Structure 1
Amino acid sequence: MTQNTLQPAVRVRDLTAAYRHDTVLDGVSFDVPRGVVLGVVGPNGAGKSTLLKASLGLLPESSGHVEFLGSPLDAVRSKVAYMPQSLTLDPTFPVTVLDVVLMGTYPGLGWVKRPRKAHKQQAREALELVELGDLAGRPIGQLSGGQRQRVLLARALVQEPELLIMDEPFQGVDAASERNIVSVLKSLKARGVTVVLVHHDLMTVLDYCDWVALVNRGIQAIGPAENTFTAGNLERVFGIPHLGAGHAPAGGAAA
């Protein structure tokens, strides 16, 4: 076993992030062990998505030290996949579902290289995993919200990551898409892939996640779900008296 495999999947030290003059995270530090499904949970505006983006270096006004799989992101970028909340492509742009999934192969291609036949086969297999194999040639703009989320997941899966970071993967999806995404997550966990996902539905946190990070302008609690996702912690983080894990309202999307 190498030294890197002994390291946490994610190690964050003194992470600070701001939007203009609003400091959302200030000196945040935490570790995520390998092989867990970590749910990042908190109220609206708590900084859940900010935490992910700042860790990945996607926010210009951020500082701190972050390692993924024991190394800086640039050294392991091909092993770390990120699934954003939604596609940033113009839905009228003439690109197919398969084209979007193939974008997930780019980190391993290097400059100027084009996806080969093997990469296209990988992309088709990823689409089969998310039950969209028959839509490979369809323009991305013709898909429903739930289907587009599954395409984003396929784009991440084709990268064959050791760490998958997901920002609100269940946002706006239908029941069929949610079931498929959950099935894929279980498969990834069984293979030892670490998953970090922002999740807003408190009623399903314990069903989907075995670790939980409670966020409200910082990490208020993090650890195994049975120790962290408790009525007392939820009352403290959400600021609602008598809020229990068994009947908690949704936390909503966060900035």
Structure 2
Amino acid sequence: MKKLKKNLGGKSSGQLLIVAALSIAVLISSTTIYVYEVSRETNSIKNNSISDFVLAVKQSTRNAMISSLVNASNGGERTVLTDNLNSFSQALRSLYQFGTCQLNFTVLNDVGYDSGMRFSWNDSGLGISSAYADFTLKIYGVTSNTVVNYAVNVTTTLTVNGFYTIVENEEKLVNLTCKIYNEGEPALAKNMTVFYENLGSWVPVNSSNNLSITDYHNGTYNISFTVNTSSSSVQVSVHAYDSRSVLVQTNTTCNEA
């Protein structure tokens, strides 16, 4: 079976890199503004303000990882995750509202992860695009220190299974069930594109194939279309963008029901 894949190497477009740069700049600016507002709270609620600050940092690191995963899944460098997290960590060092801030991180390089990224796009009907990192946030104050350890996992998963039946003119009616997950929970897709293999080439499915997509609004999608191939099975490839614009894809084989 001929695989249909996107390049995950260094041939990222300038547009993607610009988007990533803008995303991290907006992210850092937003966090700085938020921290400034929090710093205006009175001393009587300082502890609550520190808690809010920690929550803001956690959310910002998640946003940075989502932005990085979007970039890498669309062809950017895997190292964009480390670059973005380094930029964010450096920005935090200049914030002194509660003391000296230090954010250390370690991206995962194990169990299929490289530079904190994992792309498992194969022929099993299961596609995974993921980013993972461990963080330690240290806030050194005048009277006390705060240390928070946490991990961030951003994972988009796509499962595809299906079959076909013979209809008029010996055409094959393919039925697919596709499910999208974010961090293991059902999620919505922004866009889905389907291909089928014919004579060694991947052919996009469109209206000429009587394409029909049913959205059940719970992360489950039913896709049906007709093809005219001589093979006893139909190889399909589904490319999906989740609502965060993370790309995930997988291939599967459909046999006659």
Pairwise TM-score range, normalised by the shorter structure? under 0.3
Higher relative strand content: 2
TM-score w.r.t. the length of structure 2 is 0.26
Q: Which has the higher contact order (CA 8 A, sep 6+)?
A: 1
Q: Which has the larger radius of gyration?
A: 2
TM-score w.r.t. the length of structure 1 is 0.26
Higher relative helix content: 1
